[in-house]
Every structure is written in structure tokens, then in C-alpha cells.
Amino acid sequence: MSASNAEQLSLTGARWVISPEPAAPLAELSDEWGLPPLIVRMMLARGIDSREKMDAFMRPDLNRLHPPELLPDFEAGLSEILGARERGDTIFIHGDYDVDGVTSAALLTRFLRSIGAQVEVFVPHRIKDGYGIHRNAISQAKEKGAKLFLTCDCGISAHESVALAREAGMRVVITDHHEVGAELPQAHAVINPQRHDSHYPFSDLAGVGVAFKFCAGITRALEMPLDRYYRAFLDLVTLGTVADVMPLVDENRIIVAHGLAAIQNSQKHGIRALIAKAFAQKPLLAGQLTARHVGFQLGPRLNAAGRMDDAALSLELLLSKDEAEANELAQVLESHNTQRRSDQDAMLEAALEAVKHLGQEDEYALVLAGQWHPGLIGIVAGRLAEQYHRPVFLMGVGADIAKGSARSIPGYHLADALNRVHDILLTHGGHEQAAGFSVSPERILDLQKALLADAREHIHPEMMLPTRVIDAEVAGLETTLDAATALRLFQPFGQANREPLFLTKGARLVALRPTKNPDVMQMTLESADGHTADAVTFSLARRVEGLKPGTKLDVVFQLSEDSFRGVSRAKWIVQDLRLA
């Protein structure tokens, strides 16, 4: 079924777009690969069209990671690090205040100290220092006698700061993953797989991923055991990769597939304390940690320090070698996270009021400014983008500067949009779907007009309709326990490797069973081919409670393996519905 004739609005207001049927012979591949036809379809939808690709996808192997020596400027960076170590020069590590930047700084600090380097480490304060490399950091590095200035998760656009560091007598190595401008900073090494001249096979590493691969290359150069290095640092690189919402394909898939277990089994006091706080109410069983847990439980707690106070707290936690200290720091982060949620809810309400007050409900973008906490504008911008399904530019206005955060929808590139209005901005940078910027308060209205005009020019109305991409239309009899079990091979789920969605048409509602939780509804459905399915919805309970038994429905669901009292069965996790 083509996408065009499958587009219809559903109970949630989303249009459904069904992925095209694969041209490949499913039955033959199913026999050859030893997988149910439904699973083969999911593989083909992800571009996995050979036995070799299937084996690589289903068995993420650390030996398949790309040679770190292929990173641009790897040899120059290696020479700078080893030279500083031999001379006993102090290396000043400059990270960032988000999870990616903090884990990058922690990884580099732990690794370089482990090979005998002298290290000082710094992460900026979101409000006092702002994004990027502030001249205060250059001064601090100089005061500490640093001879090598090493960045992680930042620096690719820090032309002035790099020049200042060099003028102060320091050599500079940049490790970063952000998009590269027309010119590189004049550093002694710029290690970034996004470089236009890069021959590295995978460009979507997180900032901590670049640091992880760089240090893996140093490990190889020193002829140290690579497996021991992986065991030591897979936990940190996975935290940053998932929290920075990097695509879980290629190297990231391999890293996270191994790193989730490394996090849960981590010997680092800080990570153990973080897990204990995050899952205090319902401790995880062995092997139970998922990428979703990292993205929605661990990541926000690490981020809370930088949003509400000082990211140095999170860095201190990840570097701690004392169990009592780690527990105390984890409790501080827990308190910050609780406060963050409360303040975030209040800010969201204020932003929703501002949308109405400014009459932006019908605009192609939302551009809002207020005296809002700059540490929370990114989260609230994301919530607004989800709710209104259009780009959001949110600014926290201070006395001398307004700091902004932007979130987008598919098809509208934020970095390009900010480039088009660069003459109004003080600073800007970021990716396609998330970006940051700053502007003088007196130019906020100019920026508002320019961004709204840009959105009207570059966004088509259909782009603002939420779209639910369905992997396959299936018969009920295909949703077997074997298929549900085989779908676990697709984990870890996340960006660019989402959990598959299925559609079955004309299913009859047999029964609804409310639960103690008003947001959860148990359901029994009978598909058109006579298959009886156990189903549950965690998001549509209030919308389906009025449906009568016998109602025919088209159902969009995820297929899950459910175990109860030792008995396993396939279960539909209903995500959307429409009347058949």
C-alpha cells in the first residue's frame, strides 16, 4: 500500500503513512534467514537486505567499530596528547553543560589520568558562561598552567576562543560532533567526523562518541588492551549518546547495545548512585535497563544540574571515587530534577498563554520570549513543538541578552533557518532538529518577524500535520509470540531505530477492561482473520472508554512479549485507533 492513499487522520489527529510493501521475496528470505516473514519485512524497511547486513544488525559486535585512526586529524591529536603526557604538561579539558558534554569531559578526564597525563577539567555554567568556550575558561586554563587546551562536545565554531588560547601560549585540540561551518578554527587538531573532508565512515557520533573513539585510538597506539578500555568507558559513552538523541544505527547501535549492560553493571560510584535514585521505587532487574530508561530517567537527572544550578555537580558525580560522596551528589541531582519538573510545568503554562496572547496559533512557527529560566527553555520548546507540531523558538530574556533554544519538525532545518537570519543574532549553532541562539533584547521583535516569515516561506501546511509512520499492515494471525520475541532483536530502540508500528484493519472490539490507573485500558480485540488479541493502551484510555463492544476499528500497535505467572504471550500495545 502506498503512502499517498494511506493518509488519513486518526483518533489522535495524526495521519497514518504506511511504508511500501518490500519488493523482495519475503517467503524465500524468511526461510534463508530463519526469521518470521513479518520480521524480515521490518529488516528490509531498515535497509537490511542481505544476510551479511542482517547478521551485523542482529549481532552488534564491538569488533565492527570503525578504526579510530580514520577520524580527521587523529594523528595530529594523538601527537599532541602523547607529547603533553611525556612533558608532564597540564591538559585543560573543556566540556559542555549537557549530558553529552559532561560525559565527554568525564571520559577524557578518567582516561587521560589513567595513562598518566596531568589533567584539569571544566564544564561551563549555563547562565554565567553560556554555550561554547567563554574567555573566562581561557583565563582559567592559563592560570592553571595548562599547555594543551582540549575541547569535547564543543569548539567547532569557537574561532575567537581558539585564537585566544593560542595567544595565551596553549596548543589546542578540538573534539566535537556539531555541524562544521565554512572554515575550521585554527586549532592544532580538529577531530570531528562532520568535517567536509572527513573519510570517517560514520558521521553521527555524539560528542562523547568522538571522545570515546579518539581515546580508543590512543589506547591502540599505546598497545594497551582495547577490551579493558571498552569495559571501562562503555557506560559513559552510552549515557551521552542516548541522552543527546543520536541515531541508534551503525556505531551508535553497537555502542549502546553493549553500553546498556555496562551502565547497569557499572563500578563507577556516581553511576551506581544515579541508578539507585532514579529507580528507588521500582529497582531494575538484571539486564532490564533500556535506552528509554537512559533517555527519560538517567539523562534528565544528569541534565538537571546544568539546567537548575551548575553542571559541575554532574561532572563531579561521574568522577567521584567515594561512595558516600556519590550518594550525596546523586541526592542533590534528584532535588534539582524535582524542582526542574515543577518549574518546567509552570513555564509551559506561561508559554501556552503567550501563544494565545500573541495570536500565533495559526502561524507556521512559534517565536516566544519571556523572563524564563534559560536552563528550561529547551525542554519547553520541545513540548510546544510536540503539541503544535511546528518549529518553536523560545527565548529567556535577561538584562543584556536573550538566550534562545529551538526545536523543529521534520523537513525544517533549524541550523539553516538561523543562518538565514544570522544578521539579527549574536550567536547561533546546532543541528537540524535542535539549536541554540542569542539575541539582543531590543532586536527580539525583529527576530520574531524574520523567523515567522522564514517559516511561512519554507514550511508547507502538510508538514505541520503529525504523522505516524506505520511499518506494515498485518493480519492478526501474523502477530505471534515468535514474532514478538524476534522483535527484541531490533533493540535498542531509539532515534532512527524506533520500535516497529503495525496496522490491522477491521478488528472488532470484544471488551474493554478499565484498570486502577485511569490512563491505562486493557482491551480484547478480534482481527478480521479471527485472531483474538490481548491489547492495552497507555495513552488512549479516556478516548476509548465510550466505545461499544462490536465496534470495528483500524488499530495501530506495537507488538510486545508479555509474561504473567511464567506464561508468555503476544500483546498489542495500542498507539492509535480510528473507526473502520
3-class SS letters over 27-58: HHHHHHHCCCHHHHHHHHHCCCCCHHHHHHHH
The dihedrals phi and psi of 403, each to the nearest 5 degrees, come to -100, 130
What amino acid occupies position 503?
A: L
Q: Is the pLDDT of residue 146 over 90?
A: yes
| DSSP class per residue in 174-226 | EE--SPP-SS----SEEE-TTSTT---S-----HHHHHHHHHHHHHHHTT--H
Given this model, what pLDDT does residue 8 score?
Answer: 55
The dihedrals phi and psi of 520, each to the nearest 5 degrees, come to -115, 130
- Looking only at Cα atoms, what is the longest distance across the chain? 79
Tens of pLDDT, residue by residue over 547-575, are 999 999 999 999 999 988 888 999 999 99
Three-state secondary-structure class, residue 540: coil
Sequence-distant (≥ 6) Cβ neighbours of residue 132 within 8 angstroms: 124, 154, 155, 157, 158, 161, 427, 429
The dihedrals phi and psi of 308, each to the nearest 5 degrees, come to -100, -20
Q: Give the Cα separation of 139 and 152 in Å (integer).
A: 18
| CATH architecture label of 358-464 | Roll (3.10)
Q: In what side-by-side order are the strands of the sheet with 402-407?
A: 366-370, 392-397, 402-407, 434-439, 427-430
Q: Is the pLDDT of residue 3 over 80?
A: no
Sequence-distant (≥ 6) Cβ neighbours of residue 564 within 8 angstroms: none
Neighbours of 340 (CB within 10 A): 23
C-alpha grid cell for residue 454?
522564514
Domain 68-250 CATH class label: alpha beta
Given this model, what pLDDT does residue 4 score?
Answer: 39
Q: What share of the chain is helix, strand, coil (3-state, %, to 5)?
A: 45, 20, 35
In percent, the amount of the chain with pLDDT more than 90 equals 82
Mean pLDDT, all residues of the chain = 94
DSSP strand pairing (90-94 vs 118-122): parallel
Given this model, what pLDDT does residue 406 score?
Answer: 97
Given this model, what pLDDT does residue 1 score?
Answer: 32
Q: Give the Cα separation of 464 and 363 in Å (integer).
A: 10
Given this model, what pLDDT does residue 127 score?
Answer: 79
Tell me the average pLDDT across 281-306.
94
Closest residue by Cα to residue 106 from 222, 233, 205:
233
208's torsion region: left (phi>0), alpha (psi -120 to 50) or beta?
Answer: alpha
Tens of pLDDT, residue by residue over 454-508, are 999 999 998 998 888 899 999 999 999 999 999 998 999 999 999 999 999 999 9
Q: Give the Cα separation of 506 and 553 in Å (integer).
A: 5
Q: What single DSSP character describes residue 547?
A: P
| Per-domain residue ranges of the chain | 4-42+471-579, 68-250, 358-464
In percent, the amount of the chain with pLDDT more than 70 equals 98
Do residues 94 and 149 make contact, with C-beta atoms less than 8 angstroms apart? yes
Q: 9 falls in which pLDDT band (50, 70, 90)?
A: low
Q: Is the pLDDT of residue 247 over 90?
A: yes
In angstroms, the first-to-last Cα distance of the chain is 17
Tens of pLDDT, residue by residue over 431-445, are 788 899 999 999 999
Tens of pLDDT, residue by residue over 402-416, are 999 999 999 999 999
Matching CATH topology for 4-42+471-579 and 358-464?
no
C-alpha grid cell for residue 188?
592544532
Tens of pLDDT, residue by residue over 75-114, are 999 999 999 999 999 999 999 999 999 999 999 999 999 9
Domain 4-42+471-579 has CATH 2.40.50.460: yes
| Burial (CB count within 10 angstroms: exposed 0-12, middle 13-18, buried 19+), residue 391 | buried
Which is higher by pLDDT, 117 or 13?
Answer: 117
DSSP strand pairing (552-564 vs 567-579): antiparallel
CA torsion angle 54 60 64 70 (round to 10):
110
Given this model, what pLDDT does residue 6 score?
Answer: 43
C-alpha grid cell for residue 275?
541508578
Given this model, what pLDDT does residue 10 score?
Answer: 83
Q: Give the Cα separation of 262 and 250 in Å (integer).
A: 19
